[in-house]
Amino acid sequence: NAGVTQTPKFRILKIGQSMTLQCAQDMNHNYMYWYRQDPGMGLKLIYYSVGAGITDKGEVPNGYNVSRSTTEDFPLRLELAAPSQTSVYFCASSRGTGRETQYFGPGTRLLVL
Amino acid sequence: GEDVEQSLFLSVREGDSSVINCTYTDSSSTYLYWYKQEPGAGLQLLTYIFSNMDMKQDQRLTVLLNKKDKHLSLRIADTQTGDSAIYFCAESNGNDMRFGAGTRLTVKP
């Protein structure tokens, strides 16, 4: 199993550009999550999904969009990149909630200039 | 909103014990977690404790929970250089999860 994979590892965007951060998992997990990690801060939940076709906002959804057309994939879209979106983005998946372990990808480091 | 707080840095000598502390504010927390993040990698779950427990031991790791004070700690016995990483405390009320900022543990030889 590859677990949770994310691409790209690193990207530089100009203000106003768009991009999609890719996330895939091969564990047949229903739940998938996108977090951002800012320096000196904990992870903040952007969006999550409880299954294909179902997504919901987390704590910091503004400026992002997601879709979940398959169980495996959960891409995160930035439409108009802003410097405030400079961060490290982590995708995670889990079988369920509560004590079910969240498995994390290696992260995508995004710099918006 | 609810918060999870931890100190940002801890430095210990190899072979000593490390204690990483965390406080949280959500009284409805049901699960509390410790994650480890090595450089360039995602978070890896180390251990978790259910809120009706006050201690959990797993090899070199001991988790202590004081629910009254909303205080969680992770003790690493016989700390090794390979334990150098960032350790995140997290709590969940069964629906969503909140993370602390992470404690960077440095182990000196």
Q: Does A64 touch chain B (CB under 8 A)?
A: no
Most confident of A88-97, B32-41, B79-88: B79-88
Asked whether the beta carbons of residue B44 and residue A106 sit closer than 8 angstroms, the reply is no
The closest CB to that of A106, out of B41, B50, B99, belongs to B41
> Count of residues for chain B?
109
Least confident of A77-86, B42-51, B90-99: B90-99
Asked whether the beta carbons of residue B1 and residue A59 sit closer than 8 angstroms, the reply is yes
Share of chain A above pLDDT 90, in %: 81
Q: Does B1 touch chain A (CB under 8 A)?
A: yes
Asked whether the beta carbons of residue A97 and residue B95 sit closer than 8 angstroms, the reply is yes
Asked whether the beta carbons of residue B42 and residue A107 sit closer than 8 angstroms, the reply is yes
- Which DSSP string do the residues of B31-70 spell out, in sequence order? EEEEEEE-TTS-EEEEEEEETT-SEEEETTEEEEEETTTT
* pLDDT for the residue A85: 97
Residue B95 in tokens: 């629906």
Residue A82 in tokens: 């802003």
Residue A58 in tokens: 């987390």
Give the DSSP letter of residue B1: -
pLDDT digits (tens, 9 = 90+) for B20-73: 999 999 888 888 999 999 987 888 989 999 888 899 999 999 999 999 999 999
Is A48 a residue whose pLDDT tops 90? yes
- Torsion of Cα atoms, B98 then B102 then B103 then B105, to 10°: 120
* pLDDT for the residue B30: 83
Chain A residue closest to B88 (CA)?
Answer: A42
B window 49-88, beta carbon within 8 A of A: 50, 88
* pLDDT band for position B1 (cuts 50, 70, 90): low
pLDDT digits (tens, 9 = 90+) for B58-74: 999 999 999 999 999 99
* pLDDT for the residue B90: 92
Q: Does A92 touch chain B (CB under 8 A)?
A: yes
Least confident of A13-22, A84-93, A94-103: A94-103
* pLDDT for the residue A21: 98
Q: Tell which residue, A49, A19, A45, has the closest CA to residue A34.
A: A45
- Torsion of Cα atoms, B41 then A83 then B5 then B2, to 10°: -120
Q: Tell which residue, B101, B73, B75, B97, has the closest CA to residue B86.
A: B101
For the beta carbon of residue A31, count every other beta carbon within 10 angstroms.
Answer: 18
| CA-CA-CA-CA torsion sign (A49, B31, B24, B1) | positive
Is A98 a residue whose pLDDT tops 70? no
Say which residue, A42 or A70, is predicted with more confidence.
A70
Q: Does A104 touch chain B (CB under 8 A)?
A: yes
The closest CB to that of A43, out of B31, B48, B99, belongs to B99
| CA dist list (Å): B35 to A50, A104, B100 | 22, 10, 10
Rounded to a whole number of angstroms, the distance from the CA of B109 to the nearest CA of chain A is 26
* pLDDT for the residue A99: 63
- What's the rounded Cα separation, in Å, for the pair A65 and A55? 10
Give the DSSP letter of residue B82: G
